[in-house]
Structure 1
Amino acid sequence: MLALQRYCWLFCLVLLLTSCSQTNQLALYRLSQAELNQQLSQQLQQLAQKATVAGLPLKLQVKQLDVQIAPQGKPDVQLTLDTAALVQLAVVQLPVQLKLSLSAEPYFDQQRQAVYLRRFQLLNSEMAAGGMQGKLKPLSADVARLLQQQLTQMPLYRLDPNKLSHRMLLNIPLQLQLTPGQISLSPAYQQGG
């Protein structure tokens, strides 16, 4: 009986998708800017990474994150990160505050059934350390690279095979669409069919 019910759901979903194939506007899942900001903030605040930057050991932590989806209609996600780092200089630890702005392209990975970021670009950086403020491009670029490595491995959103509504989507080709403040997953139909 349960198997019959699943097939009925799947049949209804396929029927619905077929009827919407001409417009390709059916969003099966939407992720708002607020949801994405909350999700990524929780993941990044747990990140306390030890690394070497410009030959100096440091411990990096993300303190605050602000995410914008498709700002000014651009097909990217912009992240503004406030980070705190402790740089080890001989026997002294120097606290450094870095504010970075990055842009990245979101994409849906069909195999991993998740939305990820790629093609990062450093837009702006500001640093404050030991009473000094300004821009230190080598340090900012190295810290941005560390964050990019983490963010490329971290899914923005993953379909959950334990949820019935997601399980039905696992075998359907999906595409990602961006509108200001929102990421949507919709069926990926071939044009001209």
Structure 2
Amino acid sequence: SLALEGTPYYDSEEKAIFVRSLSLLDSTIDAGGFKGNLAPVSGEFMQLINGYLASNPVYRLDPANKAVSMLSTVPMQLTVEEGKLRLSAKP
């Protein structure tokens, strides 16, 4: 069982979505004779992952797509909705 939490961020210059402040909420393991939670020993591991995610997007918009190309001229905002991320024009 794995539960993570992070904050999505849209970078308009990169045309990409990054995840910031990723944290491990739960990592319960019950397999191969080991039963436990790895969260207490995950500090360094999460630092490495957050370092990687700081410069590597989890999703990059396709600039070859005409709709994406047209939308990239408009200031965008990223909102979190149940089960999805929504990019929309800033009001």
TM-score (normalised: structure 1): 0.40
1:109–1:160 Cα change, 3 Å = same
Give 1:151 shift: 3.4
Match of 1:154 in 2: 56
Bigger radius of gyration, 1 or 2?
A: 1
Asked if residue 114 in structure 1 is aligned to residue 19 in structure 2, the reply is no
Give the letter for the 2:81 counterpart: T
Match of 1:169 in 2: 71
1:163–1:176 Cα change, 3 Å = same
1:169–1:142 Cα change, 3 Å = same
Identity of aligned residues (%): 36
Which of the residues 104, 111, 131 maps onto 2:6?
Answer: 104
In 2, the alpha carbon distance for the partners of 1:149 and 1:101 equals 19
TM-score (normalised: structure 2): 0.76
1:173–1:157 Cα change, 3 Å = same
Matched residues, number: 90
Higher relative contact order (CA 8 A, sep 6+): 2
Give the letter for the 1:111 counterpart: E
Counterpart mapping for 1:9-158 below 5 A? 99-127=1-29, 131-136=33-38, 137-138=40-41, 140-158=42-60
Q: Could you tell me which runs of 5 or more consecutive residues in structure 1 were left unpaired when the two chains were aligned.
A: 1-98
Which secondary structure does the structure 2 equivalent of 1:171 belong to? coil
Residues 68-100 of structure 1 show CA distances to partners (whole Å, capped at 9, x for unaligned) of xxxxxxxxxxxxxxxxxxxxxxxxxxxxxxx54
In 2, the alpha carbon distance for the partners of 1:172 and 1:146 equals 34
Worse-superposed segment, 144-153 or 105-114: 144-153
Give 1:126 shift: 2.4
Instruction: Please provide the CA RMSD for this pair.
Output: 2.3
Match of 1:69 in 2: none
1:100–1:144 contact (8 Å) kept in structure 2: no
Which secondary structure does the structure 1 equivalent of 2:57 belong to? coil
Give 1:107 shift: 1.3
Q: Could you tell me which runs of 5 or more consecutive residues in structure 2 were left unpaired when the two chains were aligned.
A: none
